[in-house]
A and B are shown apart, each in its own frame.
Chain A
C-alpha cells in the first residue's frame, strides 16, 4: 500500500459535477434571505409601534408588487438577481401546481430546497443580457414516479460572450437562431408552436424518460424546463419514466415564460 496505488485507484476520475458557483449562489441567497427576514421583522415592529402612535392611513405601505402577475428579469445587481430568482421560483411553483396538482417537489440533496419547495434558482448579475443566467433543479414526484426538473434561462445565441453555444463568425448567428425553434430529423417526438404574443416554443421528448420544453423570451434568451426520470446522480433511474408528461412539461415552461415581461 503506497501512494502510487492510491493514485491508481483515483486515476479514472470522471468530470466533476461539483457546482461551486451554484453553492456560493445558494449560500449568498440564504444569507440575503436571513438579512431580509431580520429587516422585515424590524420594519414590522416599527410599523406596529408607529401604527399605535399615529393612526394615519395615508402612510400605510403599498402592497407587494406583482405577487401574482408578470415580472421582469432584472439582473443588474446581486439584490435584483435575488428578487428575480425568487419570483421565478414562485412562478415555477404555481405553474407546477396548476399543471400537475398531484405532483410534489422533493429534495434532491442535503443542500437543495426542502420537500415541498420549488427549486432554489440561482442567478448571475451581469450588464450583458447574454451573460445573465438563471438555473435550478429540484426533485419531482407524481404517484410512484420520481425524477428531476431542471430550469434554465440562458442565451443560446452564438457569437455572444457568455452564450451557451459559440460560433466563429457572426454571419451564422441569424441562421442558427432561425432554426433554433425547429424540429430536427433525429427528434421524432417534437412540436413547435407560438405563444399569443408570437414568441416561439419547442417541446421535445426522448421516450417517456426525458422531456424538454423551450420558450423564447422577449430579450431573445430561452427559458427551458427539462424533466427526466433521474432523481439524483447516485440513484437509479425510475423505470416508470419521468414524473411529468411532455404536455405538462411544456405547460410549466409556457406558464413561467408567460409571466416574464419585456
Chain B
C-alpha cells in the first residue's frame, strides 16, 4: 500500500471512528470490548483496503466487517460467558416497553447477538431490510422476522 493509500485509509477511519465505536458498543455493551472490535475491524479493512475503497458503498462494507467481527467473536466460547456475583434465582423478565435508555439497554441485552445487530442496523443506522440482510449475510425474511420483536416493543 502506498503512502497515498495510507493517508486515504487514515482519513477514512478517522471520519468514521466515533460511528464505529458507538455501533460496536451497542452490539457488545462494553466500551473496552467495543474498542477491541473496532481494532479488529480496522485491521481487516486495512488488509482489504482496495476492495473497501472500490466498493459501491464503503460505509456499508465497513459496517459489514464490524458487525461480522462481532458475530464471529460472539461465537467464541469465552465471549459467551458473563460474569455475575450471584446466580439469578428467577428468569429475566422480558422487556415489554422501551421508553428510556435503561429499558433499551435491557431490551438489547435480552436479545441474541444477531437479533441485536438487526435492531441496531435498522433503527439506529436506518439501513433497509435488504441492506441489513446483506451486511449480516442472512435473508431479508429473517431480518423482518427478527425486527418484529423490536417493533412490538415500540408499540407496547
| Interface residue ranges, A against B (CB under 8 Å) | 1-3, 5-6, 8-10, 13-14, 16-20, 23-24, 26-28, 31, 109-111, 233-234
Asked whether A234 lies within 8 Å of B33 as measured between CB atoms, the reply is yes
Most buried by B among A6, A19, A28: A6
A1 to B35, CA, bound (A): 25
- Taking a contact as CB atoms under 8 Å apart, the answer to whether A5 and B22 are in contact is no
Nearest-neighbour CB distance to chain B for A40, whole angstroms, equals 22
Please tell me which one of the listed residues B9, B25, B40, B150 contacts residue A111 in the complex, with CB atoms under 8 A apart: B40
User: With A and B bound together, what is the CA distance between A3 and B101 in angstroms?
Assistant: 11
A27 touches B47 (CB 8 A): yes
Question: Could you say which of B6, B33, B43, B123 contacts A1, with CB atoms under 8 Å apart?
Answer: B123
Q: Do B101 and A27 touch across chains, with their CB atoms under 8 A apart?
A: no
Asked if B65 is at the interface of the complex by the 8 Å CB criterion, the answer is: no
Residues of B within 8 A of A13 (CB): 18, 21-22, 25, 31
Closest beta carbon of chain A to B95's beta carbon, Å: 10
Minimum C-beta distance from A232 to chain B (A) = 8
Number of A-B contacts (CB under 8 A): 83
User: Smallest Cβ distance from A110 to chain B, in angstroms?
Assistant: 6
Q: How far is the CB of A226 from chain B (nearest CB, A)?
A: 19
Given A16, A17, A24, A111, which contacts B6 in the complex, CB threshold below 8 Å? Answer: A24
Q: When chains A and B are docked, how far (Å) is the Cα of A9 from the Cα of B120?
A: 12
Q: Which residues of A contact B119 (CB under 8 A)?
A: 1
Let me know if B39 and A109 touch, CB within 8 A: yes
Are A5 and B100 in contact, CB atoms less than 8 angstroms apart? Answer: yes
Please, what's the 1-or-0 string for B17-39, where 1 marks a CB less than 8 Å from any CB in chain A?
11001100110001111011011
A234 and chain B: residue at smallest CB distance: B32
Q: Which of A1, A3, A18, A28 contacts B107 (CB 8 A)?
A: A1
Which residue of chain B has the shortest Cβ distance to A22 in the bound complex? B39
Instruction: Give the residues in chain B near A9, CB-CB below 8 Å.
Output: 25-26, 101, 104-105
Q: Which of A10, A109, A111 has the most CB of B within 10 A?
A: A10
- Is there an interface contact between A233 and B104, defined as CB atoms closer than 8 Å? no
A234 to B120 Cα, complex, angstroms:
23
Distance in angstroms between the alpha carbons of A204 and B27 in the assembled complex: 40
Q: A14 CA to B107 CA in the complex, in Å?
A: 23
Chain A CB within 8 A of B46 CB: yes
Contact of B26 among A10, A110, A111 (CB under 8 A): A10
Q: Are A2 and B123 in contact (CB under 8 A)?
A: yes
**30 residue pairs from A and B, CB less than 8 Å apart:** A1-B119, A1-B123, A2-B123, A5-B100, A5-B101, A5-B104, A6-B120, A6-B123, A9-B26, A9-B105, A10-B21, A10-B22, A13-B18, A13-B21, A13-B25, A17-B32, A18-B38, A20-B14, A23-B42, A24-B6, A24-B9, A28-B1, A110-B36, A110-B40, A111-B40, A111-B43, A233-B35, A233-B36, A234-B30, A234-B33
